[in-house]
Structure 1
Amino acid sequence: MSAVLSVPPAHPARAAAHFAARLSFETDVSDVHADLERGVDGLAVVDSRSQEAWWQGHLPGAIHLPTAEIGARVSGLLPAGVVVVTYCWGPGCNGATRAALEFARLGFQVKEMIGGYEYWVREGLPVQTAEGVIVRPIDDLTAPIAEAACGC
């Protein structure tokens, strides 16, 4: 008996709808990095972590807006029509999901950056700290060592 096939796979049309829906809610660190590097207009990357976490390191160009402060501070901070990309610590944290929910409730289009700050760092992407921009070595369990892009 197959563990994989013990529950039959979805019909291809249902599977396509499911995966398309996931991509409308989520993005990944590689795609966010590529858009930031290209200077794509209409995106606002929001770090929803604490002040201490922000100073420990954050994505260059990110806006610091802890989840609990979104409702009170977002007015005038983000232009109308911007797509918000939220991130928090990583896969073990649902802070980015909570922040995305808050932005959606306020009428923003929003995506969650899966992997969060952890995978941004592990893929060897630049991090802004109080001391300046740093780049840590690529973790070969998350990205090819030769470059920070998996090609997928």
Structure 2
Amino acid sequence: MSSAVSRVAAANSQEALQHFEALLRFETDCWDVHHALSNGRQDFVLLDVRGTSAFEAGHIEGAINLPHQRINEQTLADYPQDTLFVVYCAGPHCNATEKAAIRLAKADRPVKKMIGGVTGWIDEGFQLTTQNPAEQSHGQ
């Protein structure tokens, strides 16, 4: 007797390896982002792609708010072409990260999705801030 889990056979090891390695080319997680931010190893731009009011209510410290609808060549102009963008939104129930990633990929920009978004960040025990990056850089 088989379960709903095993009814469809698992991929062979080589297929599984290719699949899971490919996922890491498209995704990162809250722990890896937190580690990079807290250890001075941030080699990416963290974009909060939610609306401005959601960002102001609480976001990851150091994130830049760029709602997915506003991602275009003009809003990206200040970043070198090879800048890696890591996008996040509210959480697994939100597809703003995919919308943002599509816009970035169409602009020929490297992009990864931070899986879990704000929900995952909080679930991992990490804090949000309400201070915006401009205020942070001015020490306010």
Give the TM bin, normalised by the shorter chain: 0.7 to 0.9
- 1:96-131: CA deviation from partner (whole Å, max 9, x where unpaired): 111011111111111000000111122221211159
Give 1:81 shift: 1.6
- Secondary structure class of the residue paired with 1:27: strand
**1: CA distance between counterparts of 2:125 and 2:6?**
37
Q: Which residue of 2 aligns with 1:9?
A: 10
Q: Which residue of 1 aligns with 2:122?
A: 121
Match status 1:73 vs 2:75: yes
Matched residues, percent identical?
A: 39
**1: CA distance between counterparts of 2:42 and 2:30?**
17
Q: Which residue of 1 aligns with 2:138?
A: none
**2: CA distance between counterparts of 1:73 and 1:115?**
25
**1: CA distance between counterparts of 2:102 and 2:39?**
27
Q: Which has the higher contact order (CA 8 A, sep 6+)?
A: 2
Contact 1:100 1:112 in 2 (8 A): yes
Question: Which protein has the bigger strand share?
Answer: 1
Backbone CA RMSD of aligned residues = 1.9
| TM-score normalised by structure 1 residue count | 0.81
Give 1:41 shift: 4.3
1:91-110 alignment, distance < 5 Å = 91-110=92-111
Give 1:80 shift: 2.9
Give 1:79 shift: 2.8
**1: CA distance between counterparts of 2:6 and 2:120?**
31
| TM-score normalised by structure 2 residue count | 0.87
Q: CA distance change for structure 1 residues 130 and 42 in 2, over 3 Å: closer, same or farther?
A: closer
Query: How many correspondences in the alignment?
Result: 132
Q: Which residue of 2 aligns with 1:135?
A: none
- 1:40-89: CA deviation from partner (whole Å, max 9, x where unpaired): 2431100000010010001100111001111041111x233211100000
Hey, which bits of structure 1, 4+ residues long, moved more than 3 A?
none
**1: CA distance between counterparts of 2:58 and 2:6?**
43
Structure 2 residues without counterparts, runs of 5 or longer: 136-140
Question: Which protein has the bigger helix share?
Answer: 2
Letter in 2 for 1:99: A
Q: Which residue of 2 aligns with 1:19?
A: 20
